[in-house]
Amino acid sequence: MSSIRVINGNYRGYSIQNTEFTLVSGFQTGARGGFVTVQNNGHFPRCPDTIRIRVDNISDIEYTNGMTQENTVKFAKPATPAETDEEAMARIRERFEILTEMTKATVSGDIRAMIVSGPPGVGKSFGVEQEIDKACLFDKLAGKRLRAEVVKGSATPIGLYQTLYKYSDPNCVVVFDDCDSILLDDVALNLLKGALDSGKKRKISWLSESSTLRREGIPDQFEFKGSVIFITNLKFDQMKSQKLRDHLDALQSRCHYLDLTLDTMRDKLLRIRQIAKDGVLFADYEFEPAVQDDIIEFMNTNKDRLREVSLRMALKIADLRKMSVVNWKRLAETTCMKPAGA
């Protein structure tokens, strides 16, 4: 077997210097930079037998048994020109601007329903809740019942029926934020399909006996004239149950669907950088720009070891930086990262 010495490299956040490995595949370049594929041979416990070590360039490796760089180097041909960070951030910003615009349209009643899909911790809820707060401002000042509500957590079908009745008037909005239980229940999905039907009148019925509805004076049938926003981490097309997929397809056909498409690690980190650059992410900390950059760079360097890459994680690390200017990185390594080899 051929051998290789990694002069300077990185594997899952661990620095590698002057270490010899059994070579599997020589230096290659991909979307995330250069790498070599080697056998683990116990260097990293509880990790795969074959691993990729990231290196900046071919000068960071040395062949130890007579092989040359020329007969091992391979270059992946990019199908399209690489997207720059600036272009990626512009693309991401446009998605979130569309989210704000669509939320305003839902609040005004111009559209009946919207589904917002994307990974956790990228700020899906923030823009929606801002517009909901604006819509409810005059209600609060006048002491009126708020015309919108954000529902988080779990909800039963009868709880859903009660909520839809409460906000069934025109210009009322219900936001279901990570309330995925209603998207995984047949009865709840049927209620939602009725509430968001494309017909002129959207009638919902509850024809089962219910002392709860009687006690609260809620009829067993009513017309829903409000709007609904779903914020979810679910990918509808990846659901395993065909029956559930059919229900979700029917619901999706009644809604505007916005996928924020932040599925790569790079996109998540650029989203975090973007929010920080806009002065929103660390607004409560009064950090200098250099400190904000340090936090984001720390996340970028340790992205493969962090428990999650999200806005929430950035704020956790910011808490530690505020708590200890000297030891915040050590604290973050202990509380925010996965155990070595996990």
In this structure, what token pair is assigned to residue 221? 């049938």
**Which whole-number Å values give the CA distances from 236 to 16, 230, 282, in the listed order?**
41, 12, 33
Tell me how far apart the 2 most distant CA atoms of the chain are, in Å.
85
What's the pLDDT band for 107 if we cut at 50, 70, 90?
very high
List the one residue out of 215, 257, 203, 214 whose CA is nearest residue 232: 257
pLDDT of residue 111 exceeding 80: yes
Q: Tell which residue, 96, 90, 110, 92, has the closest CA to residue 231.
A: 96
The CATH code that applies to domain 85-259 is: 3.40.50.300
Q: Is the pLDDT of residue 39 over 80?
A: yes
Question: Mean pLDDT, the chain, as a whole number?
Answer: 88
Label residue 341 by pLDDT band (50, 70, 90).
low
Percent of the chain with pLDDT over 90: 57
Measured distance CA(67)–CA(2) in Å, rounded: 8
CA 199 to chain centroid, in Å, comes to 33
Q: Which two tokens stand for residue 260?
A: 């924020």
Q: pLDDT band for position 31 (50/70/90)?
A: low
**Per-residue pLDDT reduced to its tens digit, 147-178:** 999 999 899 999 999 999 999 999 899 999 99
Per DSSP, 43 falls in state S
Whole-angstrom Cα distance, residue 18 to residue 8? 7
Query: Given this model, what pLDDT does residue 13 score?
Result: 77
Q: What's the mean pLDDT in 12-16?
A: 82
pLDDT tens sequence across 129-144: 999 999 999 889 999 8
Residue 98 has pLDDT above 80, yes or no: yes
pTM, two decimals, is 0.71
pLDDT reported for residue 160: 96
The arithmetic mean of pLDDT across residues 315-342, rounded, is: 92
Range(s) of the chain covered by CATH 3.40.50.300: 85-259
Distance, in Å, from the CA atom of 146 to the CA atom of 129, rounded to the nearest integer, reads 14
Q: How many residues appear in the chain?
A: 342
Top pLDDT among 27 and 37 is at: 37
Compute the distance between CA of residue 16 and CA of residue 35 in angstroms, rounded to an integer. 13
Residue 290's contacts (CB-CB under 8 Å, 6 or more residues apart) are none
Write the CB contacts of 150 (distance below 8 Å, at least 6 apart in sequence).
125, 128, 129, 132, 175, 177
* Residue 141, CA distances (Å) to 120, 135, 144, 173 in order: 33, 11, 8, 18
Distance of alpha carbon 295 from alpha carbon 316, whole angstroms: 10
**pLDDT score at 233:** 87
pLDDT band at residue 81 under the 50/70/90 scheme: low
pLDDT in the model for residue 75 = 41
Burial of residue 228 (number of CB atoms within 10 Å: 0-12, 13-18, 19+): buried
pLDDT band at 288 (very low <50, low <70, confident <90, very high): very high
Does residue 185 or residue 238 have the better pLDDT?
185
